[in-house]
Amino acid sequence: MKKLGLFIAALPLAFLSSCDVQSQQKIGSILSQIPTNGTPTTLEIGQGIRQALEIGTSQGADKLSAKDGFFGNMAIKILFPTEAQKVEKTLRSVGLNSLADNVILSINRAAEDAAKEAKPIFVSAIKQMTITDATNILLGNKDAATEYFKRVTTAQLMEKFKPVITTSLNKVGATKYWSDAALAYNKIPLVKPVNTDLSNYVAQKAIDGMFVQVAQEELKIRENISARSTGLLQKVFGYADTKK
């Protein structure tokens, strides 16, 4: 009997996932007319979490893919790889500041370029979300949605980001700047030659930055009532507030 109850409770969310676009729009219209208080239904929790994540990931990707999305954000700005920071210090010590600056600017531009590819991956993850995922996210920690995305999208993001990063590194000149920097450094007497996989490094840092931004957007919806832009979000997250 308990299993049957759980199956019936999960039906609305499963049905919503299989609906065509027109049907989902109709359901969304119905949900937009629901009261903004009271205990949300299973359907409302599932749809509310999906709505919140769509807003958060979309805004996050838009911010990071804009000019200076990475370069102008000190929390996620990509610097020289750890093993290559000695390269930067040495280059600057011998007057090659502009070369080091060009490397940093260009790898951040490549990350901004790749961030555009994140949206469809996040959308796919949202569609695959189960009722258990949605409930755990709603009533979980402040970064529960971000942790969900890390779990289900990291491998896809790396697969998608790396070729884009490689292309972007070439497009914005990062590959040349990095080669020039490594060459200049390796010519300095007595230094240990550096050989960093720049594409892999930048792709990983871009993904890390993406999750930092998603976490900020998630926290905004959880803690800032004015960020709950629909009646559904107000009801679902208002309910979560009572469970803290």
Over the chain (244 residues), what is each successive 10-residue block's mean pLDDT? 35 43 48 60 89 88 93 93 80 86 90 86 86 89 90 87 84 79 78 74 89 89 87 89 82
Max intra-chain CA distance, the chain: 77
What does the block give as tokens for 145? 């949605």
Strands (E), 95-225: none
Residue with tokens 């507030």: 241
pLDDT score of 125: 87
CA atoms within 13 A on the CB side of 37: 0
Burial class (CB in 10 A: 0-12, 13-18, 19+), 194: middle
pLDDT score of 78: 93
pLDDT score of 196: 65
Q: What would the pLDDT profile of 134-188 be if each residue is shown by its tens digit?
A: 989 989 999 998 899 888 888 888 888 888 888 888 887 777 878 787 778 778 7
Residue with tokens 């954000």: 73
pLDDT score of 102: 87
What does the block give as tokens for 130? 């189960």
CA 146-25-218 angle, to 5 degrees, is 15
Computed from CA positions of residues 137, 138, 144, 146, in that sequence, does the dihedral angle turn out positive or negative? positive
Ramachandran sector of residue 68 (left: φ over 0; alpha: ψ -120 to 50; beta: rest):
left
Flag whether the pTM goes above 0.75: no
CA 227-146-167 angle, to 5 degrees, is 105
